[in-house]
Amino acid sequence: MRLTNRWIVFVAAILIIVIVSGAFYEVVQLRLGENTLEPQDTLFQLQAFNMFSAGNFEGNMTFAELARHGDFGIGTLNGLNGEMVALGGEFYQIPSNGSLRQIGMSEKTPYATVAFFKADWVIQVEDSMNYSQLTAYINSTLPNYTAIYALNIHGFFTFAKTRSPPIQTKPYPTLTEAIKNQTVFTLGGVYGSAVGFYFPASMNGVDSTGYHMHLITDERSAGGHLLDCIVRNATVEIGQIDNYHLLIP
């Protein structure tokens, strides 16, 4: 059958629409997270804590790869180079000199715990609480102490004590030895987010049990591993983690 010019134009137009629609679908799927590797209720951990703390401070995973496992969490950079905070899909380093910066996606990490954060319930803290009071209050809301929980605590920190270790050189010391030379920061009068996880006692050695939190200010100017604090007017978002993925290098 001979095709007229009108039919040729019509068929060509249909083909163009199909090709463009397919490309658009692919872009939309990537934006919706098709390139991710973990479901939303999974915590991904790179290296067991007892292996890391023995001095295994060098890894091969880039932050681009880590971002496929989670957009929220904590960790460090190769060489134990400061503290890492991931919040809203952005990864930040708080080095020992205190000059917070955004981490490049080609940089690498030896240890991190990340997830795609989703709050299952939210509690409010209006009055001032220190760190011990805050964690005790959060404990009272947990359905059990055998699960892993992700926490995002945003509020006004009238006081915060944080730390960050300096980069280490080979042969690497243990974590206990390395943090003897850590820098301790004292912050006050800042809005910020304490990001981290609660690990049950049954996971001792796999990770640090109890609460492990890193602080980052709203202005992205300071932070570190949270040692102590006084916070008020805080919103505490808590998400229960149902699945756990440990990658042993």
**Coil, strand or helix: which one is 180?**
helix
Q: How high is the pLDDT of residue 17?
A: 36
Q: Are the CB atoms for 73 and 7 separated by under 8 Å?
A: no
Question: Quick check: 32 pLDDT over 70?
Answer: no
The pLDDT tens digits for 150-192 are 999 999 999 999 999 999 999 999 999 999 999 999 999 999 9
Q: What is the mean pLDDT of residues 118-123?
A: 97
Q: How high is the pLDDT of residue 38?
A: 85
Per cent of the chain over pLDDT 70 is 86
Q: Dump the DSSP string for 144-162.
A: -SSSEEEEEEEEEEEEEEE
The pLDDT tens digits for 49-71 are 999 999 999 999 999 999 999 99
d(CA 43, CA 86): 13
Question: Quick check: 240 pLDDT over 80?
Answer: yes
How wide is the angle at C-alpha 40 spanned by C-alphas 238 and 56, nearest 5°? Answer: 85
pTM of the model: 0.85
Take residue 217 and report the two structure tokens written for it: 């200010």
Per cent of the chain over pLDDT 90 is 83
Q: Which residues are within 8 A (CB) of 59 and not within 5 positions of it... i.e. 6 or more apart?
A: 46, 47, 78, 108, 109, 110, 111, 249
